[in-house]
Amino acid sequence: MNVLSHPRITSFIGGQPVSPGGRDAFENIDPATGEVVSTVEVATAEDVDHAVSAARAALSGPWGKLTLDQRARALHAIADGIEARFDDFLRAEMLDTGKPVNLASHLDIPRGAANFRAFAETLKHAPGEFFPMVAPDGGDALNYTLRGPRGVIGVICPWNLPFLLMTWKVAPALACGNTVVVKPSEETPSTAALLGEVMREAGIPDGVYNVVQGFGPGSAGQYLTEHQGIDGITFTGETRTGEAIMRAAAKGVRPVSFELGGKNAGIVFADCDMEKALEQTARAVFMNAGQVCLQTERLYVERPIFDAFVEGLAERARALKPGDPFDKATSFGPVISAEHKDKITGYYDVAARHGANVVTGGGLYAMDGRLAGGNWVEPTIWTGLDDADTVLREEIFGPCVHIAPFDDEDEAITRANDSEFGLASMLWTQDLSRAHRVGARLQSGITWVNCWFLRDLRTAFGGMKHSGIGREGGVHGLEFYTELRNICIKL
Ligand code: NAD
């Protein structure tokens, strides 16, 4: 059963779902079972054009005239609407992604609502500049800044945390007075469509929130990024997709905000609280079947605790329970698609060929009944590979980690930083000075010390090196979501 009032999922343009029929369509597959859960109609270039026009028209309509307080109330109304339809969002997200109910109900859907609440007041706290000056004629002049919306924002999202990451962009965009055209991942079309219904119920003016369904290259994603009516593109996804989007954005010199791939390192010192380190590292590696951009794929563990740590993490991996995502006892879900399953197990084969010691996992779960048709990849731990190995250099985006021993602090930092990516890092030590010292030297947009994925939405979020461009979160996203203007008045 599909929770959407339109069992055939279509784009959402100008405040209405597009009438079904007459477009190419594809099947949306439940990753847990391989069964078809809905059919999705692909937006045409003309649909994308209509969506951009609707978004542009809405900028100068009632939406553009709202005060900051009125806009903040609108964002809270959207959050209320998500909470009122929590179960619909939960079911839609679970069927799209196969996430276990415990994860989706505690993380994805609550964060979707929380994003709208967190950004509702952002602009009110935006710092401004004020510079009195003396002009060359000796008279006074005054400079001050004003912020306005950037315009129509193209929002392109991945499939791993679809609702959380989409609302993470839509909320600040709307808070700043922009309008949006969203292109959800083809793997996860449902919650973006449902949010359209919530927008209508919350009284958000037509055209403020639009969704175009479809694929990337040669489809809705490419049409959207190339459309000259888009004033800025915010994208979360793979680094090489970011490169293609950047090329499209070059025409018309449109700004981009990118949250891209990672190959995140964790460093575990021998003085850590072992139980906590193991518990949180198991989350950092295996949560969402490893399909989290912040996931740890490279671990460096100080030699005296290396063997005990490897065995402790392996025990936790073996204790994970794959199963029906709707069963509360399930703690481990499938990966998103058969194609992604093949990509991950391809790396499992490479690791084995390159002589890795497979501590646990390394293959597929044998599932029974309906679940036999799903994409069930085993959680996997390797040791024994060289830092230069492909398995340690490329993002796998699966439930797997390589663990290597280290002997001193400098060595650990150098090896952790030896990556073209720089999204997140994790550090376990009870030595406060070392935590500061090492934290300051790790090349990543975010470093967690004695924790993982502890997020305060007011903080700057983004990646260094190939992991991104710009920062979002709190007032940091204003750089992208607003245009800053200076007014100079000769007094
Ligand atoms: P992806 O790059 O394959 O796709 C992301 C989106 O881009 C999809 O909606 C897709 O249809 C669209 N797209 C693809 N090619 C396009 C093109 N040429 N033009 C326009 N749109 C295009 O990424 P994915 O597989 O959906 O997600 C996994 C990736 O996302 C991983 O690399 C992961 O690290 C990254 N990620 C990063 C963060 C972060 O915050 N840094 C968060 C989550 C995921």
Residue 395 pLDDT: 98
pLDDT, tens digit, 9 for 90 and up, residues 164-223: 999 999 999 999 999 999 999 999 999 999 999 999 999 999 999 999 999 999 999 999
Q: 349 and 287: one domain?
A: yes
Ligand 1 centroid to Cα of residue 355, in Å, is: 31
The C-alpha atoms of residue 279 and residue 148 are separated, in whole angstroms, by 45
CA pseudo-torsion sign 237, 238, 239, 245: negative
The predicted pLDDT at position 1 comes to: 38
**Cα 447–Cα 453–Cα 458 angle in degrees, nearest 5:** 80
Is 480 in the same domain as 338?
Answer: no
Ligand 1 proximity of 237 Cβ (cutoff 6 Å): yes
Confidence of residue 307 (pLDDT cuts 50, 70, 90): very high
**Residue 261 alpha carbon, nearest atom of ligand 1:** 34
Query: pLDDT tens-digit profile of 52-69?
Result: 999 999 999 999 999 999
pLDDT digits over 379-401, tens only? Answer: 999 999 999 999 999 999 999 99
Is the pLDDT assigned to residue 39 strictly greater than 60? yes
For residues 296 and 254, state if they share a domain.
Answer: no
pLDDT given for residue 230 in this prediction: 98
Residue 422 has pLDDT above 80, yes or no: yes
Would you say residue 1 lies in a domain?
A: no
> Would you say residue 127 has pLDDT above 90?
no
Residue 389: inside a domain:
yes
CATH number of the domain to which 112 belongs: 3.40.605.10
pLDDT at 5 over 60: no
Is the minimum distance from the CB of 381 to ligand 1 under 6 angstroms? Answer: no
| 215 within ligand 1 shell (Cβ under 6 A) | yes
2 inside domain = no
For residues 193 and 314, membership in a common domain is answered with: no
Q: Average pLDDT over the chain, rounded to whole?
A: 97
Nearest CA residue ID for atom 34, ligand 1: 261
Residue 6 has pLDDT above 80, yes or no: no
Q: How confident is the model at residue 2 (pLDDT cuts 50, 70, 90)?
A: very low
Residue 126 confidence (pLDDT): 86
Q: Would 45 be classed as within a structural domain? A: yes
The Å distance, Cα 185 to ligand 1 centre, comes to 8
Q: So which residues are the catalytic ones?
A: 259, 293
Has residue 3 been placed in a domain?
Answer: no
CA of 146 to the centre of ligand 1 (A): 33
- Residue of 183, 238, 291, 335 with the most ligand 1 atoms within 8 Å of its CB, for mutation: 238
- Whether ligand 1 lies within 6 angstroms of the CB of 395 is answered as yes
Pair 209, 333 in one domain: no
Answer whether residue 476 is part of any domain.
Answer: yes
Same domain, 182 and 317: no
Cβ of 412 closer than 6 Å to ligand 1, yes or no, is: no
Is the same domain home to 64 and 169?
A: yes
- For 106, which DSSP code? I
Q: What is the CATH number of the domain that holds 285?
A: 3.40.309.10
Domains in the chain: how many in total?
2
pLDDT at position 164 is 98
Q: pLDDT at position 124, please?
A: 84
Q: Are residues 49 and 95 in the same domain?
A: yes
Q: Are residues 18 and 89 in the same domain?
A: yes
Dist. CA 188–CA 185, nearest whole Å:
5
289 and 180 in a common domain = no
- DSSP 8-state code for residue 205: P
Query: Same domain, yes or no, for 199 and 348?
Result: no
435 C-alpha vs ligand 1 centroid, how far in Å? 32
Ligand 1 center–CA 236 separation, angstroms: 5
The residue whose C-alpha atom lies closest to atom 43 belonging to ligand 1 is 293
In tens, the pLDDT along 215-244 reads: 999 999 999 999 999 999 999 999 999 999
Instruction: Tell me, yes or no, whether 46 and 156 share the same domain.
Output: yes
| Nearest-atom index, ligand 1, CA of 293 | 34
Residue 98 included in any domain: yes
- Domain range enclosing 43: 8-260+467-490
pLDDT over 50 (residue 18): yes
